[in-house]
């Protein structure tokens, strides 16, 4: 796995998020461009992170002053990448090695969910790329369609 370097600000945000929601996190990305915080939470903590009717995540967003997105960690790279794209329906994730020996992920998404997977201004594909590299050494995540 890639080396994840967390600065003091990220560690502080992770602690605050855990104090508010009760969900443990293992990574935090401060996405200034999209004015959001992305937390990679421990497996099984999604319900705790969101809370009943979203109360926990709303409180965390209010207290931390930014929109919050959460992705559940998985040791399986394919499963983790699927989690990055939720709620889009991912049909398959194919991880291959390119000529430079780097891993890339080709993600097949249900055609009607393609827009959700990409996100406004490409923010969801940005999230998947950033997290896949940090968590599983995958340097590029691409959305494919059957037409390609």
Q: Are residues 91 and 120 in the same domain?
A: yes
For residue 96, what are the contacts with CB-CB under 8 A and spacing of at least 6?
Answer: 103, 104, 106
Q: Are residues 103 and 63 in the same domain?
A: no
Q: Are residues 81 and 139 in the same domain?
A: yes
Q: Are residues 140 and 114 in the same domain?
A: yes
The 10s digit of each residue's pLDDT in 14-37 is: 999 999 999 999 999 999 999 999
pTM: 0.91
Q: Are residues 46 and 82 in the same domain?
A: no
Q: Are residues 86 and 61 in the same domain?
A: no
Number of domains in the chain: 2
Strands 36-41 and 25-31: what pairing? antiparallel
Look at 90-94, 125-129, 144-148 and tell me which has the smallest mean pLDDT: 144-148
Share of the chain above pLDDT 90, in %: 90
Strands 103-109 and 25-31: what pairing? unpaired
Q: Are residues 66 and 106 in the same domain?
A: no
Q: Tokens 């443990």 label which residue?
A: 24
Q: Are residues 90 and 66 in the same domain?
A: no
Give the side-chain half-sphere CA count within 13 A for 67: 8
CATH number for the domain including 128? 3.30.300.20
Q: Are residues 90 and 140 in the same domain?
A: yes
Residue-range definition of the domain harbouring residue 125: 77-144
Q: Are residues 40 and 82 in the same domain?
A: no
The 10s digit of each residue's pLDDT in 86-121 is: 999 999 999 999 999 999 999 999 999 999 999 999
Within-domain flag for 2: no
Within-domain flag for 3: no
């Amino acid at each position: 796995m890639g080396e994840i370097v967390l600065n003091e600000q990220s560690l502080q945000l992770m602690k605050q998020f855990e104090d508010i929601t009760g969900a443990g996190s293992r990574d935090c990305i401060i996405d200034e461009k999209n004015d959001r915080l992305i937390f990679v939470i421990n497996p099984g903590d999604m319900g705790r992170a969101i809370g009943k009717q979203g109360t926990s995540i709303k409180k965390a967003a209010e207290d931390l002053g930014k929109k919050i997105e959460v992705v559940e960690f998985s040791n399986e790279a394919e499963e983790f990448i699927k989690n990055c794209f939720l709620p889009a329906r991912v049909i398959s994730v194919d991880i291959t090695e390119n000529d430079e020996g780097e891993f890339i992920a080709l993600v097949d998404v249900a055609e009607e969910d393609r827009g959700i997977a990409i996100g406004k201004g490409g923010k969801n594909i940005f999230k998947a790329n950033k997290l896949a590299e940090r968590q599983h050494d995958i340097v590029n995540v691409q959305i494919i369609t059957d037409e390609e």
